[in-house]
Amino acid sequence: MKHVLDHAAPNPNKTTHSVFNVDRKEVLGLVDQAWLKKGAPVSGDPGAYIVPMGRAIGKSGETSIKIIVRPGTNKIIIVYPVK
């Protein structure tokens, strides 16, 4: 969870680091919404899902959430906003 919540705030030490545009306490609710909408995994990567959210959810205008799980499980490794 800590790694997921790291995307609730900017990290100047990382060159690529997307940030959710919701308050930190709302990030897990957003992840829950995305999990319910996730559909099939990304072709060729059974542990990755890109979920269009239908609205901006990232501070740079990202409208989708990428969910990375341990393949074949629901064990989330990381979640972050993507375009």
Written as six digits, the tokens of 78 are 């990381």
Please indicate, yes or no, whether the overall pTM of this predicted structure exceeds 0.85: no
Domain boundaries, the chain: 2-10+18-82
Give dist(CA 41, CA 47) in Å, integer: 7
pLDDT tens digit at each of 83 positions of the chain: 665 666 666 677 777 789 899 988 999 999 999 999 999 999 999 999 999 999 999 999 999 999 999 998 999 999 999 99
> What local confidence, expressed as pLDDT, does residue 13 receive?
77
Give the residue among 77, 50, 78 at the shortest CA–CA distance from 64.
50
> What local confidence, expressed as pLDDT, does residue 53 receive?
97
Give dist(CA 16, CA 4) in Å, integer: 15
Give the residue among 36, 41, 34, 28 at the shortest CA–CA distance from 1.
28
